[in-house]
Structure 1
Amino acid sequence: MSASLRHVVPRRSTTRVFITYKSRLECMRRYYSTRRFGKSETIETDECAIPLQPTWSVNDLLSSYPKPSISPSQLKHLHELSALLPPEEDSTELASLTAEMENLVKLVEAVRIPDLQGEEKEAVPDGRVWADGMGIELTESVGEVSAEEIRGRDLLAWPYRTSNGMYVVDTDRRRK
């Protein structure tokens, strides 16, 4: 049994889905996309349309951003702020630490770059699940005590021994 399905997603995307059935229960899907870098790509997926191989990586994403440079004085200052001893100058540890910090700064700068000026302030929906018309009570109810809650001096009714309104605790050793 062999069948083929071609699906074109409307608006701004040129993604097509081709499904080839090897048998009744087993299907293999291939996604053909011309969206990325103007090249066509075929992405192999499983039966749930999850790609078998990663389709992108953080390194690919960050490769288009310029790499910042961290001077030895900046790295030393970061160590002082974090109360750490900096590695010795001209060591391999210093070079690898500098490269790692430059990559972290590059990642942070990449996150800060997108322009969200045109977006609405509340464009991100609240991800919590609430019943319609309900929400979080933002004020604490102070002073409301249930009938079952025991407070104050009423707690002294529960210990085995009290003396003059104080708990008495037996210890193994006596104070000198």
Structure 2
Amino acid sequence: MSLGILRRYPILCSTQLISSPHRCYSSSTKANTTDDYGIPLRPTWSVTELLSSYPTPKLSNATLDRLYELSALLPPKETKEYDSVKENLEEMIRLVEAVRLVDTSGVIPAGRGEKEDADRVLSEVAEGGERGQELLKHATNTKDGFYLVDAERKR
């Protein structure tokens, strides 16, 4: 099995950079050795190994031609390049389907940086720090809830 998307970009496997996802795993029957901090010296699983347990979707030539048409591109003739594009798309579809099967019940999405800044925001509120609209009371010029800045340039 080949993952075209993984083949194009080298991935970090343990402490060395490698370009083949097939070499980036150790079988579960081997003993996993760790460093002084308990970090495994070799990877303990791989995306390739995980995805191999899912069925490979089949993409028809008509569907691939339709995708090219929708993207306003000319499809390559049915050659090795065409087969390669088709194989890569099938692998991407396999990855998407595997992600869709993940049980996300009970997962609460958080905004970007929301969890990381939660302790800082709580400490500011505990210290009586003013935030947001409360800061407007210190401004000399405001209009409709916004700071008003006098500029010399006219529009």
* TM-score scaled by length of structure 1: 0.52
* Aligned partner letter, 1:95: D
For the residues of structure 1 that align with 2:47 and 2:132, how far apart are their CA atoms? 39
1:54 maps to 2:52 = no
> Offset at 1:48?
2.2
> Offset at 1:78?
1.1
Alignment counterpart, residue 114 of structure 1, candidates 102, 105, 108 = 102
Equivalent residue runs for 1:96-115 within 5 Å: 96-115=84-103
1:155 partner SS: coil
**Residue equivalent to 2:61:** 72
> Offset at 1:50?
1.9
* Aligned partner letter, 1:83: A
**Residue equivalent to 1:87:** 76
Question: Rg: which structure is higher?
Answer: 1
**Higher strand proportion (structure 1 or 2):** 1
RMSD (Å) for aligned C-alpha atoms: 3.4
* TM-score scaled by length of structure 2: 0.58
Higher relative contact order (CA 8 A, sep 6+): 2
Alignment counterpart, residue 44 of structure 1, candidates 33, 37, 49 = 33
* Aligned partner letter, 2:104: L
Deviations for 1:122-160, whole angstroms, at most 9, x for unmatched residues? 69994331321769959xx85312xxx433xx326xxxx
> Offset at 1:84?
1.7
For the residues of structure 2 that align with 1:85 and 1:46, how far apart are their CA atoms? 52
Q: Give 5+ residue unaligned stretches, structure 1.
A: 1-36, 157-165, 167-176
> Offset at 1:41?
4.2
Equivalent residue runs for 1:1-176 within 5 Å: 41-89=30-78, 91-117=79-105, 119=106, 121=108, 126-130=114-118, 131=120, 132=122, 143-145=146-148, 149-151=149-151, 154-155=152-153
Q: Give 5+ residue unaligned stretches, structure 2.
A: 1-26, 126-130, 134-143
**Residue equivalent to 2:5:** none
* Aligned partner letter, 1:92: K
| Equivalent residue pairs, number | 111
For the residues of structure 2 that align with 1:128 and 1:71, how far apart are their CA atoms? 45
2:50 partner SS: helix
* Aligned partner letter, 1:79: Y
